[in-house]
Amino acid sequence: MHSELGEVVVASTVRDGDREIGIEIADPRQDTTTQLWHCTYRVAGARTHRVRGADRLSALYAALLDVHSAPSRFAAQGSASGPREPTAARFPAHRGSPPRPREFGQPLGARTVDTAAGPVVVLLGRPRRDPERPHTCLCPFRIGDRTEAFGQGFDDVHALTAAISDVAAILAIPRDWPARPTNP
């Protein structure tokens, strides 16, 4: 899905009282002058926010962390108080046929992480709706050449967060592994 943010790779909708608040996270882009990666996101159609990371995956992870506080900031600006509840995610219309649930699809980012057994390459794919279960999103991940699995959630954000947590559990590494520096 494209918007003025660029290509939106993660989208979600949460409910704040009687209102639905949309969250869009764009595909990270590299700044050619600083070599840092920038990830832009928007909450509730308001102004965009930008976070940085050393690489594509860390910028995306920084946006995921920051977006959790964004609805709270938005709510403080005059929306109804009370807990926010997730709603069914709204998904962009697919061009062509949607990927089958067990296909990896387009990658979001890769990272080499240090484990007790040595360095391993982790690849995260883009979250997408499971065509067999429309209220479930899948986020594929691959660990080296041996493990391919899916994090799942009720929307893109939760599926991606689940995939990050699953990788951490499988490899016995810290849960914030996308924010840690990459290997040389």
Q: What is the pTM of this model?
A: 0.73
The answer to whether 69 and 43 have CB atoms below 8 angstroms apart is: no
- What crossing angle do the helices spanning 156-171 and 56-76 adopt, rounded to 10°? 130
Distance CA 180, CA 184 (A): 12
The dihedral built from the CA positions of residue 133, 121, 119 and 180, taken in this order, carries a sign that is negative
pLDDT value at residue 2: 53
More confidently predicted of 105 and 49:
49
The Cα 117–Cα 119 span in angstroms is 7
- Domain ranges within the chain, ordered by starting residue: 2-86, 107-179
Name which residue leads in pLDDT, 181 or 80.
181
For residue 183, what is the DSSP state? P
Cα 91 to Cα 23, 116, 125, 156, 172: the distances in Å are 12, 39, 16, 9, 33
Are the CB atoms for 59 and 37 separated by under 8 Å?
Answer: yes
Q: Check residue 127 and give its pLDDT.
A: 92
Note the pLDDT tens digit of each residue in 68-103: 765 555 555 544 444 344 444 444 434 444 545 456
Strands in the chain per DSSP E? 2-3, 6-16, 19-26, 29-30, 37-43, 48-53, 84-86, 107-115, 118-125, 128-130, 133-143, 147-153
